[in-house]
């Protein structure tokens, strides 16, 4: 009995970054321009054995990073309120949507840098999977929908025009 044929849509091959760029679609260019790749193709990724100790980031350090980056748009929002007045819901959505996009792209860059420096789990077995050729469009579509819909629903469900960001109880965010 012959082995069943694999569906080409199941392929995890990711060689599109080496293609002639004239073949790229909008999705390819979006991922390239934002530079949200999993690894830099011109840098080596360290490979560790299963017996090596696993590097980790302490929880408090992660919390500090998140709070510091979350505080920037809230401080800017607070300054806007104190100098200009209460913004409309649309302006709040645009501002926080832009802040989320910038923070998310920055986070991907930071995580890629950490991965390039420390390596990845199962790196001794195979290279890190990239965005496969068949999934570039879906990946770009997911990125666009997440960075558009998440801030929209957050503003719709959580924004209160009569409360400034300074009314947040910051003590609860540490835990």
User: Are the C-beta atoms of residues 119 and 97 closer than 8 Å to each other?
Assistant: no
Q: How far apart are CA 137 and CA 139, in angstroms?
A: 5
Q: In the chain, what are the domain boundaries?
A: 57-118+134-175
pLDDT, residue 10, reads 64
Q: What is the pTM of this model?
A: 0.81
Closest by Cα among 116, 140, 142 to 34: 140
**C-alpha distances out from residue 120 to 16, 57, 154, Å:** 22, 14, 33
Tens of pLDDT along the chain (175 residues)? Answer: 566 676 666 667 778 888 898 999 999 999 999 998 888 888 888 888 888 888 888 888 888 888 899 889 999 999 999 999 888 889 999 999 999 999 999 999 999 998 888 887 776 666 777 788 888 889 899 988 888 888 888 888 988 888 888 887 777 766 6
91 DSSP 8-state letter: H
Torsion sign (Cα): 36, 47, 56, 42 = negative
- Residue 40's closest CA among 110, 102, 113? 113
- Measured over the CA atoms of residue 95, residue 97, residue 100 and residue 106, the dihedral's sign is negative
């Amino acid at each position: 009995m012959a082995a069943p044929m694999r569906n080409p849509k199941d392929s995890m091959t990711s060689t599109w970054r080496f293609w002639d760029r004239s073949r790229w679609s909008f999705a390819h260019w979006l991922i390239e321009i934002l530079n949200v790749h999993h690894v830099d193709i011109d840098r080596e990724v360290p490979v560790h054995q299963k017996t090596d100790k696993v590097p980790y980031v302490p929880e408090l350090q992660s919390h500090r990073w998140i709070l510091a980056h979350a505080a920037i748009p809230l401080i800017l929002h607070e300054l806007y309120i104190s100098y200009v007045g209460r913004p409309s819901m649309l302006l709040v959505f645009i501002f926080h949507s832009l802040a989320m996009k910038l923070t998310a792209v920055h986070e991907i860059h930071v995580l890629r840098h950490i991965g390039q420096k420390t390596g990845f789990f199962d790196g001794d077995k195979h290279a890190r999977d990239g965005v496969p050729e068949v999934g570039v469009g879906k990946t770009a579509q997911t990125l666009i929908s997440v960075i558009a819909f998440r801030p929209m629903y957050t503003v719709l469900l959580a924004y209160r025009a009569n409360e400034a960001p300074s009314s947040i109880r910051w003590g609860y965010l540490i835990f």
